[in-house]
Amino acid sequence: MAEDSPKRRKANFNEAETEVLIEQVLKHEQLLFAAGPGRASAGQKRKVWELIRHKVNPVAACPRDVEDLKKRWRDLKRRDRSKLCRLSQGCGPPAP
């Protein structure tokens, strides 16, 4: 019976999840996003993302996996960048 039902999407991130995600990513930002010869290996980054997942899931509405967290982080960065650009420099299409 469960096989016949369509796949349901996960619940939106709540405020607590987002706060923990931001706090943890910023705490480990150098390890996750550093460039150059001293950067972390893919295995180290995977361990850090797993650690972040273990911090987010206790406050999560539904269990999150690492890919969910990475996507949410990318979306937050993109949204903030575009908002800052529109406010400070007038980038993008004009408001209707």
Mean pLDDT by 10 residues, the chain (96 residues): 72 93 93 88 96 96 95 92 67 55
69 three-class SS: helix
Ramachandran class of 13: left when φ > 0, alpha when ψ lies in -120 to 50, beta otherwise: beta
Residue 76 structure tokens: 């937050």
Residue 52 structure tokens: 């972040």
pLDDT at 2: 52
Q: Where are the alpha helices (DSSP H) in the chain?
A: 15-27, 29-33, 42-56, 66-89
pLDDT at 56: 97
Ramachandran class of 60: left when φ > 0, alpha when ψ lies in -120 to 50, beta otherwise: beta
- Single pTM value for the model: 0.77
